């Protein structure tokens, strides 16, 4: 089964052709990072306009790269939530038009379910059940993946996402946007014990996280240095920051694996590309005899292949959408599309 998939929830326009949920035939991505870098973050209006300008070109390029024609397609999948509402609408409307024009089923896919499914592309042997930590610029949560479309949240951030926190810390240090990779590069060789940063704990909610205090601590540390003339150890700060984020994520994810009684742990999302977090998970999984799955770098960030992968399993579960499909800025990962109110 060949699915044409679309992703436009933030600042990457992506179109992919995926076969049977496990094989990438093509994955075309246009990143807007350079356009937003001057503003230090994503500008929603600019993101939406760029999606409009590039999505049709990428769709044709994805078909050409896959070596398929429109007649070879069996379905269309699209990320419809969560994300920047204007950006999501571009992908949703284009996918609806494509499905209607080609007389194909339209499959709505939750963006974070897509990130989880990136592991199916990287590891064909991976099957539910397993625990997955999804960490990105807009979302941070621990999920019990009971089946391909039966996913329950065990815990989540109460405020900022881990990726957003990396971006804000990078801005404080004068690093370019997006801040994840510059922070990772700066941390190499740094003393991760140079600065002590808080790791929040939520009483009665052991799997929930909070990163706002960590972000504030970095800002306050920088302000103090500016006011006193103290020189910051930038490399040590980046390393200490990465350690604090990892110390918040890794123990909770491992605890969730033990609670669920599983032997498999997956990590997904853009922050999964961070070298410190990847290494800490590798050590923790090895120590507890847990099989660890982390996608390669190219599948950590937003892409349409992951939407096509999850779209396949949503299709098998009978999930379909019509021309009334809407876009949503926020939505629980466990929400069943079929229970949503119809867009009029």
Instruction: Inform me whether the pLDDT recorded for 343 exceeds 60.
Output: no
Neighbours of 92 (CB within 10 A): 25
The answer to whether 116 and 151 are in contact (CB under 8 A) is: yes
pLDDT band at 344 (very low <50, low <70, confident <90, very high): very low
Distance CA 241, CA 16 (A): 35
Instruction: Inform me whether the pLDDT recorded for 61 exceeds 80.
Output: yes
Cβ neighbourhood burial of 159 (10 Å; 0-12, 13-18, 19+): middle
> Rounded mean pLDDT of 192-200?
93
pLDDT score recorded for residue 339: 77
Return mean pLDDT, the chain.
Answer: 94
> DSSP 3-state assignment of 122?
helix
pLDDT score recorded for residue 34: 85
Place of tokens 């050409």: 64
**Each residue's pLDDT tens digit, 159-177:** 999 999 999 999 999 999 8
pTM for the model stands at 0.94
pLDDT score recorded for residue 58: 98
More confident residue, 116 or 40: 116
C-alpha closest to that of 127 among 304, 314, 264: 264
More confident residue, 340 or 308: 308
Instruction: Inform me whether the pLDDT recorded for 50 exceeds 90.
Output: yes
pLDDT score recorded for residue 30: 95
Instruction: Inform me whether the pLDDT recorded for 143 exceeds 70.
Output: yes
pLDDT band at 232 (very low <50, low <70, confident <90, very high): very high
Instruction: Inform me whether the pLDDT recorded for 118 exceeds 70.
Output: yes
Q: What is the DSSP letter of 68?
A: -
Domains and CATH numbers, the chain: 2-115+301-339 (3.30.420.40), 128-299 (3.30.420.40)
The string of DSSP codes covering 222-285 is: HHHHHHHTPPP-HHHHHHHHHHHHHHHHHHHHHHHHHHHT-SEEEEESGGGG-HHHHHHHHHHH
> Rounded mean pLDDT of 209-224?
93
Q: Is 219 left (phi over 0), alpha (psi -120 to 50) or beta?
A: alpha
Percent helix, strand, coil in the chain, to 5, is 45, 20, 35
């Amino acid at each position: 089964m060949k699915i044409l998939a679309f992703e436009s929830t933030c600042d990457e326009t992506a179109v992919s052709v995926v076969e049977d949920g496990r094989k990438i035939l093509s994955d075309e991505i246009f990143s807007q990072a350079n356009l937003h870098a001057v503003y230090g973050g994503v500008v929603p209006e600019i993101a939406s306009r760029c999606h409009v300008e590039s999505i049709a070109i990428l769709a044709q390029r994805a078909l050409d790269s896959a070596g398929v024609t429109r007649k070879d397609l069996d379905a269309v999948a699209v990320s419809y939530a969560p994300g920047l509402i204007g950006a999501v609408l571009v992908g949703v409307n284009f996918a609806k038009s494509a499905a209607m024009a080609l007389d194909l089923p339209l499959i709505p896919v939750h963006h974070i379910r897509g990130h989880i499914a990136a592991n199916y592309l990287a590891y064909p042997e991976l099957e539910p059940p397993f625990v997955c930590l999804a960490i990105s610029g807009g979302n941070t949560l621990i999920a019990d993946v009971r089946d391909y479309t039966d996913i329950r949240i065990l815990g989540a951030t109460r405020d900022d996402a881990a990726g957003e926190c990396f971006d804000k810390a990078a801005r404080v240090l004068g690093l370019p946007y997006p801040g994840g990779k510059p922070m990772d590069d700066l941390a190499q060789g740094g003393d991760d014990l140079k600065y002590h940063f808080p790791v929040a704990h939520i009483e009665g909610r052991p799997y929930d996280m909070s990163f706002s205090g960590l972000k504030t601590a970095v800002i306050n540390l920088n302000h103090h240095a500016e006011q006193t003339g103290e020189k910051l150890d930038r490399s040590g700060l980046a390393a200490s920051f990465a350690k604090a984020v990892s110390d918040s994520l890794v123990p909770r994810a491992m605890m969730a694996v033990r609670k669920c009684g599983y032997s498999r742990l997956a990590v997904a999302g853009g922050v999964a590309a961070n070298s410190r977090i990847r290494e800490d998970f590798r050590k923790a999984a090895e120590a507890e005899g847990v099989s660890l799955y982390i996608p390669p770098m190219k599948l950590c960030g937003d892409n349409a292949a992951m939407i096509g992968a999850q779209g396949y399993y949503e299709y098998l579960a009978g999930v379909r959408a019509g021309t009334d499909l809407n876009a949503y800025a926020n939505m629980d990962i466990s929400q069943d599309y079929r229970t949503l109110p119809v867009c009029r």
